[in-house]
Structure 1
Amino acid sequence: MPPPPSGGRRVRVDGEILGVAYNLRDFLEFVRRAGLDPDMVNVVDEDLIEWRGGGPDVW
């Protein structure tokens, strides 16, 4: 499912919705809250992140 016209992307970890990110900075904050080091996360790593409707450059 692509991001809605109003913008933002739902962020889920293990099926739990953490919130809506409106940019990559928001997304990385959710990553941090999930216990990962945002500086160590490769946002194009398809084994870690499933982007729907476009990659990390689509908001």
Structure 2
Amino acid sequence: MRVRPAERTACRPDAGAGAAPDAGNMSGSLPVTVHPPSPTGGRRVRVDGEILGLAYSIADVAEFLRRAGLEVDPAEVSVSPLIDWRGVGPEYWGPETDGASPDSG
């Protein structure tokens, strides 16, 4: 995965307060966690224990990481070994509206 430091920019209010120090190297000790879908849809994204926001797509996750000082190619987010996808994989953003669970596919 190609990662490079990004310039810090102002974030939307729902994007969190910013990044932890030394956020420019994703291969370091910054754990990235995408939590299971919420009951109303979207998934919480954390970097180094800090909630960055509620993502509704891979592009949102990539944007939150960029705002945290991590430049990540959106095409690589779903397959990155550096991101812990909790509950379900990157293809589910919830809520499930048809009554089917992600495993019943």
What TM-score do you get using the length of structure 2 for normalisation? 0.49
- TM superposition shift of 1:36: 1.4
Superposition RMSD on alpha carbons, in Å?
1.9
Q: Give 2:80's match in structure 1, choosing from 35, 42, 45.
A: 45
Equivalent pairs counted in the alignment come to: 58
Q: Which residue of 1 aligns with 2:57?
A: 23
Structure whose CA Rg is larger: 2
| C-alpha distance in 1 between matches for 2:75 and 2:67 | 13
Using CA pairs under 8 Å that are at least 6 residues apart, name the structure with larger relative contact order, 1 or 2.
1
Instruction: Show structure 1 runs of 5+ residues with no match.
Output: none
Q: Give a deviation string over 1:2-58, Cα, whole Å, max 9, x none.
A: 312311000100000011101111111001011111228732222x10001111111
Q: Of Structure 1 and Structure 2, which has the larger fraction of its residues in strand? A: 2
What TM-score do you get using the length of structure 1 for normalisation? 0.79
Instruction: Show structure 2 runs of 5+ residues with no match.
Output: 1-34, 94-105
